Chains A and B, each alone.
Chain A
Amino acid sequence: METHLEDYTKFRPKPAEEISDVVRRAGRMFVIACGKCYKVFEEEDEGQHNQLLETLGDDSARIAGHARVDFLCNEILSAKKIAGLELGDCDSIGVMSCGLGVQFLARLFERTPVYALSDSVAHSVNYPTDIGYHGVSLEADKCAACSQCYLNLTGGICPITNCAKGLLNGPCGGATDGKCEVNSAVDCAWVRIHERLGRRGELSSFGYVQTRDYSRPSWKTENQLSVQNREYRHAGFYGGFHPLEKKEMTADKRIEPLAEPKVAVIFLCQHLGKRAKPIVEPGDTVKVGQKIGEADGFVSATIHASISGTVVAVEERPYPAAGRRELAVVIENDGRNEVHASVQPRDGFEALSREDLLDIIRESGIVGLGGAMFPTHVKFSPPKPVDTLLVNGCECEPYLNTDNRLMIEQPEEIFAGIEIARRILGVDSVLIGVEENKPEAIATLSALSEKHPSVQVVSLKTKYPQGAERSLIKRLLDRDVPPPPRGLPFDVGVMVSNVGTLFAIYQAVARGIPVFQRVITVSGEGLSRPGNYLVRIGTPIREIIQHCTGGDVERLLDEYDVKMGGAVMGIPQESLESAVIKGTTGLTVLRKPAVPVSEERDCIKCGRCVEVCPMHLYPLFYGLYGKQGDPGKTIEHKVEECVECGCCEYICASKIALLSFIRQEKAYARSADKG
Chain B
Amino acid sequence: MLAVQIKAKEEILPLVSSKRIFIFECLGCHDVYYPVEEAQKLIDSIDQEIVGRATLDYLCHADYDREYIKAYAREIERAEVILVFSCGVGAQVVSSLLDDRKVYTCCDTLYLAGFQGLTAKEFDCDQCGECYLNYTGGLCPVALCSKNLLNGPCGGSQGGKCEVDPDMPCVWQEIFDRLAGLGQLETMDRLGPPKKWNVSPA
Contact = CB atoms under 8 A, between A and B. Distances in A.
B124 A100 contact: yes
Interface in A94-147: 98-107, 110-111, 113-116, 118-125, 127-128, 131, 133-137, 139, 141-147
Interface string A222-266: 110111011011000000011110000000000000000000000
A556 B110 CA distance: 42
Interface stretch (A56-64, A80-88, A196-204, A626-634): A196-204
Given A147-B5, A226-B122, A135 B36 contact: no
Contacts of A131: 126-127
A18 to B, nearest CB: 9
Given A98-B125, A100-B116, A158-B92, A136 B28 contact: yes
Contact of B128 (A122, A147, A222): A122
Contacts of A149: 7, 88, 91, 105, 107-109
Interface string A1-34: 1010000011010100000001000000000000
A102 B131 contact: yes
B184 interface: yes
Contacts of A136: 1, 28-29, 58, 60-61
Contacts, number: 297
Contact of B131 (A99, A127, A610): A99
Contacts of B138: 102-103, 105-107, 114
Majority DSSP secondary structure for residues of A touching B: loop
B110 A147 contact: yes
Contact of A151 (B1, B95, B120, B178): B95
Given A111-B182, A220-B165, A141 B119 contact: no
A217 B5 CA distance: 11
B133 A157 contact: no
Contact of B32 (A98, A107, A110, A229): A229
Given A22-B134, A111-B181, A123 B67 contact: no
B118 interface: yes
Interface residues of B, number: 95
A161 B70 CA distance: 29
Contact of B67 (A125, A200, A595): A595
A151 to B, nearest CB: 5
Contacts of A3: 62-63
B199 interface: yes
A104 B125 CA distance: 11
Interface string A204-231: 0000000000000111111101110110
Interface in B154-171: 162, 165, 167-168
A653 interface: yes
Contacts of A199: 99-100
B201 A151 contact: no
B2 A99 contact: no
B13 interface: no
Contact of A103 (B1, B54, B61, B123): B123
A146 B111 CA distance: 8
A41 B64 CA distance: 19
Contacts of B21: none
A612 B93 CA distance: 26
A122 B119 contact: no
A47 interface: no
Nearest to A14: B131
Nearest to A12: B202
Contact of A135 (B7, B87, B168): B87
Nearest to B36: A244
B20 to A, nearest CB: 16
Nearest to A71: B118
A594 interface: yes
A73 interface: yes
Contact of B113 (A105, A155, A226, A651): A226
A100 B122 contact: no
Interface in B27-76: 27-33, 36, 54-64, 66-68, 70-72
Given A147-B108, A151-B91, A151-B92, A141 B60 contact: yes
A227 B118 CA distance: 14
Nearest to B87: A143
A118 B92 CA distance: 32
B162 to A, nearest CB: 8
Nearest to A125: B201
A225 B3 CA distance: 9
Given A74-B118, A145-B2, A145-B111, A99 B143 contact: yes
B17 interface: no
A145 B127 CA distance: 15
A512 B131 CA distance: 72
Contacts of A217: 110
Contacts of B139: 103, 106
B71 to A, nearest CB: 4
A301 interface: no
Contacts of A145: 2-3, 87-88, 109-111
A583 interface: no
A616 B40 CA distance: 34
Nearest to A1: B66
A120 B140 CA distance: 12
21 contacts: A10-B127, A73-B119, A100-B117, A100-B125, A103-B140, A110-B181, A123-B127, A133-B89, A135-B28, A135-B60, A135-B87, A136-B29, A143-B88, A145-B109, A145-B111, A218-B167, A220-B167, A220-B168, A222-B112, A225-B33, A226-B120
Interface of B: 1-3, 5, 7, 11, 15, 27-33, 36, 54-64, 66-68, 70-72, 87-96, 99-105, 107-131, 133-134, 137-140, 143, 162, 165, 167-168, 178, 181-182, 184, 197-202
Given A107-B123, A110-B181, A595-B64, 16 more contacts: A1-B66, A10-B125, A10-B127, A71-B118, A74-B119, A100-B121, A115-B133, A122-B129, A123-B201, A123-B202, A133-B111, A135-B58, A142-B89, A148-B108, A152-B11, A225-B33
